[in-house]
Chains A and B, each alone.
Chain A
Amino acid sequence: MSFYTINSLTFSYAKTDKLFQNISFDIDVNQHIGLVGPNGCGKTSLVKLMLGILRPRGGEIYLEGSNIKDISLSDVGKKVGYVFQNPDKQLFCPTVLEQMRFSFTYGSSEPGEDIDDKINYYLKTFDLIQYKNFSPVKLSRGEKQRLALASVLSRNVKFLILDEPSTGLDILRKKELENCLMTLKQEGKGYMIISHEAKFLDKYVDQLLRLRPEGVEYV
């Protein structure tokens, strides 16, 4: 059984003008996929459908065999880590440290796991340790992006969806992100990356999925 099964999915915001129609594909839990397509073709919308934030107009999405509409957002969140395209939408805690801790306090943590160690590791990796007690709204664009990445990468999830994760990162920080992706690959965790950077995708994904209004295709 695939991790994700997307079955003749159709979606549109308004009643008319379908964004895409009859899309079908499967994703395995250890696959590394790049999702590409021009601005406004619906990549972010497709991902939001896959997380259950939006509801399809037609077709179904299955996550580990159960229809996504029957799973609560939090249960999807426990399996799939999602980095939003806009970090402002993702950060909701009063301080950076609390943002990092949130999933462990309110979500799930594995028994015997040293949470503080883990959090510190990712804060250091993304150079955020000095902002520990800052409010996320005061961070710069790139720092917000780093925090969004750090908070999702530190979690225990099987699969990650990253919506343009390298946006706003400088060369050094992009390198750190790439190292993290490398580690994920070694750990056997899968991910799907939306990006417009062909070079970045070439290195870290095995397959490219191109989104078109009439369907998706592996290229």
Chain B
Amino acid sequence: MKIDPRTKIIIVFLISSAAVMITELSSLLFLLLLTLILCRLFSVALSGPIKKLRKLLYFLVVLALIQSIFTPGGEVLVTAGGMRILTTAGLETGISIIIRMSVIVFSALIIASAPAMDVVYGLIAMKLPYEIAFMVLLSIKFLPLFREEFADSLTAVQLAGADLVKIPLKQKLSLYSYVLTPSVIKALNRARFISLSMESRGFRAYPDRTSYCKLSMRGMDYVAIIAASAAVLLVVSYNFNIIG
């Protein structure tokens, strides 16, 4: 069964807006659960991305720790030399940050699981100007391009005799920043060639574009959108004590 890309876009939009609005830890947990269920239903494979995101998670934990240290309130859990280090309120803030970011990342995976072109067609069908829809596509493509260029440069750097493991941290940092600029330039150049070749095939020659791919929302799509909105609404109203 094929789900219309618009359905995915709408649902992800709903979930990530809710993630920003919600303040209570318990409601955030419900939202995370809902997101995971939706990932399951859209058969988004989570194990691969989770592995890739492990480094980001590490960064998030550090961020959360800093947040929890600087948020006062609640009971004091850890003190050092008369100074409050960790309070219950701080811990709650830290955990909410991690959960909120996970909700946003996991819901974004729902869109990422659709072929990139489908997302573009979906955005166009939602009345976004097609130039902008393609721009979104190009910017999504840019990050992998950049990563590839950067990795290639690092290989070349090492084969030129520089030891990235053994050199002191300061030199290592300067080396990385040194290689960064040319990598950005190369990735930008490649993105520019993509847009050039698109234009040379008539992109933007006319205000409108017809397309071979016709999207259609079917019963299943409406059911999915309604069910997801209902669930999100439930979580949001629970958060603001409208129900329960």
Contacts and interface: CB of A to CB of B under 8 A. Distances in A.
Interface residues of B, number: 24
B156 A106 contact: no
Given A73-B155, A75-B163, A94-B181, 5 more contacts: A74-B164, A76-B159, A106-B167, A108-B161, A137-B185
B186 interface: yes
B184 to A, nearest CB: 11
A84 interface: yes
A106 B168 CA distance: 11
B182 A107 contact: no
A92 interface: yes
A41 interface: no
Given A88-B186, A92-B182, A74 B156 contact: no
A102 B185 contact: no
Contact of B161 (A77, A84, A89, A137): A77
Contacts of B178: 93-94
Question: Secondary structure of the A side of the interface?
Answer: helix
Contact of A74 (B163, B181, B183, B186): B163
B213 interface: no
Contacts of B26: none
Interface string A67-107: 00000111111100010100011111110000000110011
A53 interface: yes
A163 to B, nearest CB: 12
Interface in B175-211: 175, 178-179, 181-183, 185-186, 189
B161 A78 contact: yes
Interface residues on A, range: 20 to 34
B157 interface: yes
Nearest to A108: B161
B153 interface: yes
Given A77-B160, A90-B156, A106 B186 contact: no
A5 B110 CA distance: 48
Given A72-B165, A106-B175, A93 B159 contact: no
A154 to B, nearest CB: 11
Nearest to B185: A137
Contact of A51 (B159, B167, B181): B159
B163 A72 contact: yes
Contacts of B171: 106
A72 B158 contact: yes
